[in-house]
A and B are shown apart, each in its own frame.
Chain A
């Protein structure tokens, strides 16, 4: 596709349930990033992939959060046992992978935990 796509666009879940968020990066982009945008915390980095490896997971807020990337393309962010404080917009971005390259953002997944 022309840009980064994310699904679902909106997700409502009950506290304690697991959720999976998907990101399709721009074709050929080797670097992929997950960020979270919330009212209280602004825009926060979560995890960075280069190919299928994650050299920087420093932003994951707890062990309930995990992410994987397969085939150097699609990535899935999984949140287990969701809590109300996980409610946020989850943004995915990709870049060609060369140092200093621009990151292109997807439209985000809005997650609401009731």
Chain B
């Protein structure tokens, strides 16, 4: 079956640091890959997505590249801000089976 493994948290960084949150997956076929973010007190919202191998999703300075050869979709940002403090979830969905399979989530805290 499908599964998503992401970096255990919590992660604490200083403002302007470089961020990487690792995500690897197991799936049949060619899934779509997503990063969702949950800011404090708010609902889940899509951060970025990629639907095929070598695609790069990007939004708000965050990027992730769909790497089929390593079955990975690592999230990166070059310079984090305090406002990036949130819980980040990696997820996948198979073509034709649209339910999302989530990783366990990584809590990110950015200190000024």
Contact = CB atoms under 8 A, between A and B. Distances in A.
B69 interface: no
Contacts of B29: none
Contact of B99 (A56, A91, A99): A56
Interface stretch (A11-19, A21-29, A77-85, A104-112): A104-112
Given A56-B97, A100-B93, A42 B102 contact: yes
Contacts of A93: 44, 100
Interface string A18-57: 0000000000000101010000001111001000000010
Given A43-B105, A100-B32, A105 B99 contact: no
B45 A100 contact: no
B55 to A, nearest CB: 12
B41 to A, nearest CB: 9
Given A42-B105, A100-B51, A100-B93, A31 B98 contact: yes
A104 B105 CA distance: 18
A101 B36 CA distance: 14
